Structure 1
């Protein structure tokens, strides 16, 4: 009898909390959000509605279709999504009163890093420490590391080369699809950020895989796959984080009842071990007196050699976000621009003509000074970032307790607000014919008018601090490979399989690759790349 009573009380509590109370709050409507259309039938009642969309794999595309008709959509009981680009300034601009949302606090570890810290003064302190390392003037110091990775990427391309594609057939033989551009661009960015950030050579481009040592907190070493651990972490977190108050509970529940999520969370532990191993090794070098030109050195002391005295947990957190955000988004961008160029041969031909005009036939790696100001090259990169931004989802912000105006309308305090880059970049009033890949749009006299609404790197004071390094890597690699190679997709209408977690990228992009005929005057050093 006692057990029945306890079960009845527990059931009544659960029904009241999860069903009755949300329904009562929906109709009570204390913030007046019922006037906005909801993302789906339950989004106005519970965050499970948005979690359901996240499970489908491309929630931003769903938002885009709805925002064609509705400038504001309710994506949760206390969350609003905007589709009007003029909301960007109100939500993310330098003068906004909105702060980072609770979303970031829920995903943070024991210490905040630059990307998830919510407190504005604390963010300013962190950004001041790191800004010198990411400054535009320091790019010259990183170029030789990017050039090194480009050479190694090219060696992998050379090894995968096949005979030229027959002019009679537009579809490569499946056995000639020897180069997964998505994987290799990720090997590139992982090797690059480890070298730039920690002076460590991971060797992924040399070995053609991302197998790497991780280390547990108790010192056990084991091998894991870098990308699998990173992407599984994002898949798990992006599926359940939206119910902020229940994030930790949902993490435990998914571990108990879902074999798929148990696998994700296991790989998340592998990601933590990757980060810990990298940070521990680099700290040992620092403590041994090595003065290395990398981000870690900047973390540890200022330009005068004065220690920053950061806690170990904060150091590990900064290494984590550097190895994550500093690699994955740029790799996705590199993959996407190649896809769009291959789908638009006229654009590729024009880009190749521009690159060939400044590079000698024998040049293997494009010197940054020669290609950094090529207008069509930059336009190709920006147009790819527009139509397929690596970070698609709306980076959530929170209105201040007193509320804030967005699009001229008062929004009550402590509300989650956002605008997806995928949605913003398809506003036809700013980007005409938005579904068309058109680099020329960035070369028109009025192209500066589009810049405030180009949010591939977010906007305002919380915009991506690493955009200069990302452009450096993208520019050098793209110029180098279009100069040296021809590529072909599996077939002319091929589309990548995309999945959106925190970022949105292709799973694979298998290509046929072969050497271009650069003429009889090509020097011997262009025939074979020697990498030290």
Structure 2
């Protein structure tokens, strides 16, 4: 009774109530930390103490140091060995062969829902869907719009978009203004992905508001991608907040989702009248997202996906725009950076392209460029050295677990091998930090294509790889045959990258357009 009396007296004091809640919490935290350090199934896997104890190490690398984890990983492997713990339940493996095992076709290592359910606030879109059966149906739904054959039919449209951008860049020369290449290339990509999704130009779809607002919100959101990874409920809460508060917490997210909702409503309005959403009533990719029964799978059966909710549609559209606009824009701008830092490569590229015929609009066309081996080598080297997705692509260890370099990783462990681990392995790519397209030509190139993993590999590779390749080839070939350019207030420091789920640069790559060559 005396003990109960003392306890009752303590609880009547404010400080006593605080201790009543704090002590169990502190005990729970202490037991959790001790468990993770000594009794956790991964307790024998080395790594920084902070990473072994909690997810705050990854949070610190991602958000405080602004996407620094992929840069820290090589140093951590040098210190701790080929298998390291980067959070209590996730390991990174420095092994190219293990990469090819984890990410191959028909792999048993499926996407980690804890990561892909939260990344970028895009829900369970095609790119982030962890369930392999659902992913297969979603991919079957859209595969026709990203096949090599369909992309070839898109080429004339992309030629026109590129030609308009060349004319715009020429105006920068005449006005003596520096050109933001990331914005220029993102504008090209945004126009193309809008045509694929909705069968309309971005300006027309946006009802005269102009693409600049869209590009601004996309750019802002691309720098906020990591936040939902660590605060998974944030993206869902954002849409219920006032726009000003939402944009402060997650810049660009609220605005672009609202923009996507507007586009979706336009397409739904057309389809409700029996018309497809594209200009002249053409079937578009978005029509298929609205009504999956319009498509059959490889066996000839209707796709058995339910009609998506508006939120699911917005998730899909948002994912396509982020991947199809930001990623391509950054890659092309960094490609220009590396080329301008290597004038001998530019000259060799121009010599090859000079022998190819242009069309009536003075454009080197896609089909013509497919026969340009040095351009192909330049594109491959750009994708290798840039690596547009530099960070964690987490997979779950399947039933039975796996032993990697003497460490047993039980089923359910989250495991990753960064694409940069492959692209910067000096045994495969000697002097990996040197931009050298010649490595992709001749005897030296034997077997290298297997290790070009910028679009990942297997059945979970990037569905838009054919479209991205078309844009890379057309933009690089035509910009470098049309213009002499010089980097403007851009160097290794300003072009330095960080991981924001997608690669972002410290500042955009800018150039002056010195000469119009055509």
- TM-score calculated relative to the size of structure 2: 0.85
Residue 5 (1) aligns with residue 16 (2)? yes
CA gap 1:248/1:309 in 2 versus in 1, 3 angstroms = closer
Residue 42 (1) aligns with residue 50 (2)? yes
Q: Partner of 1:499 in structure 2?
A: 498
152-161 vs 228-237, which deviates more?
A: 228-237
Q: Partner of 1:198 in structure 2?
A: 198
CA gap 1:391/1:208 in 2 versus in 1, 3 angstroms = farther
Q: Partner of 1:514 in structure 2?
A: 514
Aligned length: 484
Deviation at 1:286, TM superposition (A): 2.8
332-341 vs 283-292, which deviates more?
A: 283-292
Q: Partner of 2:248 in structure 1?
A: 263
CA gap 1:366/1:114 in 2 versus in 1, 3 angstroms = same
Q: Partner of 2:109 in structure 1?
A: 98
**Alpha-carbon RMSD:** 3.2
**Aligned counterparts of 2:400 and 2:94: Cα–Cα separation in 1:** 24
Gaps of 5+ in 2: 1-11
8 Å contact 2:489–2:510 — kept in the other structure?
no
Decide which of 74, 81, 85 is 1:74's aligned counterpart: 85
Deviation at 1:33, TM superposition (A): 3.6
Residue deviations 1:406-464 (CA, integer Å, cap 9, x gap): 46854111111111122321110111100000101111325242223221111221110
Q: Partner of 1:349 in structure 2?
A: 347
Residue deviations 1:56-77 (CA, integer Å, cap 9, x gap): 1232111133334532221001
Deviation at 1:2, TM superposition (A): 4.8
Residue deviations 1:190-215 (CA, integer Å, cap 9, x gap): 111111221121239x9999756xxx
**Aligned counterparts of 1:442 and 1:139: Cα–Cα separation in 2:** 24
Decide which of 57, 62, 72 is 1:54's aligned counterpart: 62
Decide which of 464, 467, 472 is 1:469's aligned counterpart: 467
**Aligned counterparts of 1:475 and 1:454: Cα–Cα separation in 2:** 16
Q: Pairwise mapping of residues 332-371 of structure 1 onto structure 2 (< 5 A)?
A: 332-360=330-358, 363-371=361-369
Q: Partner of 1:282 in structure 2?
A: 267
Match of 1:247, SS state, is coil
**Aligned counterparts of 1:260 and 1:13: Cα–Cα separation in 2:** 35
**Aligned counterparts of 2:236 and 2:414: Cα–Cα separation in 1:** 22
Match of 1:478, SS state, is helix
Q: Pairwise mapping of residues 238-257 of structure 1 onto structure 2 (< 5 A)?
A: 238-239=226-227, 241-242=229-230, 247-248=232-233
Q: Partner of 1:451 in structure 2?
A: 449
CA gap 1:49/1:231 in 2 versus in 1, 3 angstroms = farther
Match of 1:35, SS state, is coil
Match of 1:500, SS state, is strand
Q: Pairwise mapping of residues 125-136 of structure 1 onto structure 2 (< 5 A)?
A: 125-136=137-148
8 Å contact 2:392–2:416 — kept in the other structure?
yes
Q: Pairwise mapping of residues 181-196 of structure 1 onto structure 2 (< 5 A)?
A: 181-196=181-196
CA gap 1:106/1:23 in 2 versus in 1, 3 angstroms = same
Q: Partner of 1:14 in structure 2?
A: 25
Residue deviations 1:458-515 (CA, integer Å, cap 9, x gap): 1221110110000011111111111110110126855414332111122311210033
CA gap 1:488/1:59 in 2 versus in 1, 3 angstroms = same
Match of 1:511, SS state, is strand
**Aligned counterparts of 1:470 and 1:407: Cα–Cα separation in 2:** 36
**Aligned counterparts of 2:340 and 2:208: Cα–Cα separation in 1:** 23
Q: Partner of 1:302 in structure 2?
A: 295
Q: Partner of 2:5 in structure 1?
A: none
CA gap 1:262/1:370 in 2 versus in 1, 3 angstroms = closer
8 Å contact 1:81–1:419 — kept in the other structure?
yes
Q: Partner of 1:31 in structure 2?
A: 41
Deviation at 1:329, TM superposition (A): 1.3
Gaps of 5+ in 1: 164-175, 213-224, 519-532
281-290 vs 482-491, which deviates more?
A: 281-290
8 Å contact 1:343–1:492 — kept in the other structure?
no
CA gap 1:162/1:249 in 2 versus in 1, 3 angstroms = closer
8 Å contact 2:369–2:473 — kept in the other structure?
yes
**Aligned counterparts of 1:208 and 1:126: Cα–Cα separation in 2:** 32
Residue 153 (1) aligns with residue 165 (2)? yes
Match of 2:226, SS state, is helix
8 Å contact 2:53–2:88 — kept in the other structure?
yes
386-395 vs 298-307, which deviates more?
A: 298-307
8 Å contact 1:181–1:335 — kept in the other structure?
yes
**Aligned counterparts of 1:517 and 1:440: Cα–Cα separation in 2:** 25
CA gap 1:77/1:490 in 2 versus in 1, 3 angstroms = same
**Aligned counterparts of 1:241 and 1:248: Cα–Cα separation in 2:** 9
**Aligned counterparts of 1:266 and 1:446: Cα–Cα separation in 2:** 45
**Aligned counterparts of 1:416 and 1:306: Cα–Cα separation in 2:** 34
**Aligned counterparts of 2:439 and 2:158: Cα–Cα separation in 1:** 29
**Aligned counterparts of 2:228 and 2:145: Cα–Cα separation in 1:** 34
Decide which of 474, 478, 481 is 2:479's aligned counterpart: 481
8 Å contact 1:51–1:240 — kept in the other structure?
no
